Structure 1
């Protein structure tokens, strides 16, 4: 089993960045908790969490897939020390705004991106889009029993 994913593109995803049974009262609470985890692990700097909350207000990141809602909050590279992804699998969905409209979505999984190189952001979003289009993979992530299961699923998408 993989305990940490350090893909060829330089993204770090380890079990410390994955939260199963994630409790958040709302979008901002979820973003604060996930940002704090990235900060504690040294992947981002002090301004990251506030910047991501502010960006989400102006440029929403909610996405509706066939079976659930996902969100991909991210912000400027100047707040990032090392490229990584934090994943929060929510116990109860929280409301995000849809990326392409004013619609409100119930989000089940948050993929918080901390991207150090601007040119890598598009590549990462393309790889995550593959995850979002795979209903089976999303269901497996949502129902994972432990962080290592999530790492294994993500590895198949990020390591190619």
Structure 2
């Protein structure tokens, strides 16, 4: 299911950003210009991240799955971002703790059913250290999915 929502123009590998806001600003340029979302989607993600962080500490690595703002989604998508240098994000299950995140899946779905199914698939995917390592090395996301 995930691979039908992930397009080449939404994969950003080995990028460098100062922080989460900087990352979102850059990714949003593509999301808006390619008609995936309305510009308000960025603020919706920022607001949601402050209230409900999406950073996940896994076995030896941290991943984040920013999502929300379904009312601003025009076309369902999954965007993959891998970073040269990790950015700090708050941990989902302990919001006071900061994590060093270097793999993010920015997702947007207009329907909650599709959103939940995709989140479940992503949760399985990100728990495999080999998959995360392959993503960081730039291995084709489509072949991994």
When normalised by structure 1's length, the TM-score is: 0.84
Unaligned runs of 5+ in 1: 7-11, 156-160
- Per-residue CA deviations over 1:83-111 (Å, capped at 9, x if unaligned) read 10111100100000001112100001110
- 2:85 aligned with 1:92, yes or no? yes
RMSD between aligned residues:
1.2
- 2:80 aligned with 1:80, yes or no? no
- 2:110 aligned with 1:116, yes or no? yes
Unaligned runs of 5+ in 2: none
Work out which of the residue numbers 137, 140, 144 in structure 1 matches 2:134.
140
Work out which of the residue numbers 8, 11, 14 in structure 2 matches 1:21.
14
- Per-residue CA deviations over 1:14-69 (Å, capped at 9, x if unaligned) read 11100111110011111221222211211111211111111111110000111311
Q: For the residues of structure 2 that align with 1:151 and 1:68, how far apart are their CA atoms?
A: 22
Q: For the residues of structure 1 that align with 2:127 and 2:68, how far apart are their CA atoms?
A: 23
Contact 1:60 1:99 (8 Å CA) reproduced: yes
Report the equivalent of 1:66.
59
Contact 2:108 2:115 (8 Å CA) reproduced: no
Report the equivalent of 2:142.
151
Report the equivalent of 2:50.
57
Report the equivalent of 2:30.
37
What SS class does the counterpart of residue 107 from structure 2 fall into?
A: strand
Q: For the residues of structure 2 that align with 1:95 and 1:71, how far apart are their CA atoms?
A: 10
Contact 2:11 2:79 (8 Å CA) reproduced: yes
Deviating above 4 A after TM superposition, structure 1's stretches of 4 or more consecutive aligned residues are none
What SS class does the counterpart of residue 102 from structure 2 fall into?
A: strand
What SS class does the counterpart of residue 60 from structure 2 fall into?
A: coil
When normalised by structure 2's length, the TM-score is: 0.92
